[in-house]
C-alpha cells in the first residue's frame, strides 16, 4: 500500500487575501501539485472565508478532474455547498471563528445528533471523513456515524517535544491501529512538517497525510514542486 499525500492549499489563498486581490491564485498551484504526483488537494472553506473562497472551489471543479478533499464545518450552509461542488471527500472539522487554525478534533459524542443529520444530508457519493483526536471512543463513534474514515489530529503531536511528543505518538499509533482494524480509512494531519513527519511515517496504518502550512511556507525557499518532493521523500 502506497501512503498518499494531499496538499492543503489554503495558505496560497491566505497570501492572496492579504491584498484582497487575485494573486496568487491557489488553483494555479494544481498543475504543479499534479506534476509532483501528489494524490490530491485539500481546501478548507471556512465560514469567515479568511482564505479559500467559493469561487476557488468552482474554478477548481471547472478546470480539473483531480482528487478534492473539502474540509468544512458541519453546518447546513456547508452541506449545500458540498452537494453542489461534489468533492471526492468531505472532512468535517470543528470551527471557531476566532481560532488561528483548527484547534483539536471534533467531539463526536457532544455533536452526535448534529453530525448524524449533516452526514445524512450530504450526497451519498461523497466520502465522509471525521477529524478527531486519537481516542478509541471517538473512533467507535465515527464507525457508528457511518464515516468512511477518520483523520487523526496531529496538532497536539506537532506542538510537543521530547517525552511528551513520544507519548502523543504512542496515542496516535494506537488509534491508527484500531481505526484500520475497524476498516476505517485512516489519515492524519495538522502541523506536520519535515521535522516531525519522519517519526510518524513509521506508523504503517496511516494511509494518507494532509499537509499545508509547512509545504506552502517551504515553497518560498524551495518552490512548490521541490517542497512536495521533499515531503514525498520522507513518506517513502
Ligand atoms: N487537516 C485538517 C483537518 C486541518 O484543519 C488542517 C489545517 O487546515 C490540516 C490538516 C493541514 O494542517 P497544516 O496546514 O498545519 O499542515
Which ranges of the chain would DSSP assign to H, the alpha helix?
10-19, 30-35, 54-63, 76-85, 112-121, 136-144, 155-159, 162-181, 197-200, 213-222, 224-235
Confidence (pLDDT) at 104: 85
Does the predicted TM-score (pTM) go above 0.75?
Answer: yes
Confidence (pLDDT) at 98: 65
Distance from Cα 70 to the centre of ligand 1, integer Å: 11
Using 70 as the pLDDT threshold, list the residues of the chain that sit under it: 97-102
- What is the C-alpha to C-alpha distance for residues 194 and 117, in angstroms, rounded to an integer? 38
- What is the C-alpha to C-alpha distance for residues 61 and 43, in angstroms, rounded to an integer? 12
- What is the C-alpha to C-alpha distance for residues 41 and 24, in angstroms, rounded to an integer? 17
Return the ∠ at Cα 213 (arms to 103 and 207), rounded to 5°: 80
Nearest to 128 by CA among 106, 154, 101: 106
Q: Give 138-186 pLDDT, tens digit per residue.
A: 999 999 999 999 999 999 999 999 999 999 999 999 999 999 999 999 9
Q: Could you tell me if 20 and 37 are in contact, meaning their C-beta atoms sit under 8 angstroms apart?
A: no
Ligand 1 near 151 CB (within 6 A): yes
Ligand 1 near 227 CB (within 6 A): no
Where in the sequence numbering do the catalytic residues fall? 44, 71, 190
- What is the C-alpha to C-alpha distance for residues 137 and 113, in angstroms, rounded to an integer? 16
Distance from Cα 40 to the centre of ligand 1, integer Å: 14
The minimum-distance atom of ligand 1 relative to the CA of 190 is 12
Distance from Cα 210 to the centre of ligand 1, integer Å: 7
Confidence (pLDDT) at 97: 61
* 3 state SS for 140-181: HHHHHCCCCEEEEECHHHHHCCHHHHHHHHHHHHHHHHHHHH
Ligand 1 near 158 CB (within 6 A): no
Confidence (pLDDT) at 217: 98
Ligand 1 near 154 CB (within 6 A): no
Confidence (pLDDT) at 144: 98
- What is the C-alpha to C-alpha distance for residues 201 and 163, in angstroms, rounded to an integer? 18
Confidence (pLDDT) at 95: 81
Beta bridge partners of 69: 42, 89
Confidence (pLDDT) at 86: 98
Distance from Cα 190 to the centre of ligand 1, integer Å: 4
Torsion angle of C-alpha atoms 19, 55, 97, 227, degrees rounded to 10: -70
- What is the C-alpha to C-alpha distance for residues 72 and 43, in angstroms, rounded to an integer? 9
The three three-digit cell numbers of residue 27, written as one number: 488553483
Q: Could you tell me if 190 and 211 are in contact, meaning their C-beta atoms sit under 8 angstroms apart?
A: no
Q: How would you class 97 by CB atoms within 10 Å of its CB: exposed for 0-12, middle for 13-18, buried for 19 or more? A: exposed
- What is the C-alpha to C-alpha distance for residues 29 and 125, in angstroms, rounded to an integer? 26
Amino acid at each position: 500500500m502506497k501512503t498518499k499525500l494531499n496538499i492543503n492549499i489554503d495558505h496560497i489563498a491566505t497570501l492572496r487575501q492579504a491584498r484582497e486581490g487575485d494573486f496568487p491564485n491557489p488553483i494555479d498551484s494544481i498543475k504543479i501539485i499534479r506534476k509532483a504526483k501528489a494524490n490530491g488537494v485539500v481546501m478548507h472553506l471556512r465560514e469567515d472565508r479568511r482564505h479559500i473562497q467559493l469561487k476557488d472551489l468552482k474554478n477548481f471543479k471547472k478546470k480539473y478532474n483531480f482528487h478534492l478533499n473539502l474540509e468544512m464545518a458541519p453546518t447546513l450552509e456547508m452541506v449545500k455547498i458540498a452537494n453542489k461542488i461534489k468533492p471526492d471527500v468531505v472532512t468535517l472539522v470543528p470551527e471557531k471563528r476566532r481560532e488561528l487554525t483548527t484547534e483539536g478534533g471534533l467531539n463526536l459524542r457532544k455533536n452526535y445528533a448534529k453530525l448524524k443529520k449533516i452526514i445524512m444530508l450530504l450526497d451519498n457519493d461523497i466520502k465522509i471523513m471525521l477529524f478527531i483526536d486519537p481516542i478509541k471512543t471517538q473512533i467507535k463513534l465515527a464507525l457508528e456515524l457511518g464515516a468512511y474514515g477518520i483523520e487523526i489530529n496531529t496538532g497536539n503531536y506537532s506542538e510537543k517535544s521530547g517525552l511528551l511528543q513520544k507519548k502523543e505518538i504512542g496515542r496516535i499509533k494506537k488509534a491508527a491501529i484500531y481505526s484500520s482494524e475497524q476498516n476505517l480509512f485512516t489519515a492524519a494531519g495538522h502541523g506536520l512538517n519535515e521535522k516531525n513527519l519522519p517519526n510518524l511515517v513509521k506508523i504503517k496504518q496511516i494511509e494518507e497525510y494532509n499537509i499545508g502550512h509547512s509545504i506552502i511556507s517551504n515553497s518560498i525557499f524551495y518552490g512548490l514542486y521541490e517542497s512536495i518532493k521533499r515531503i514525498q521523500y520522507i513518506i517513502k
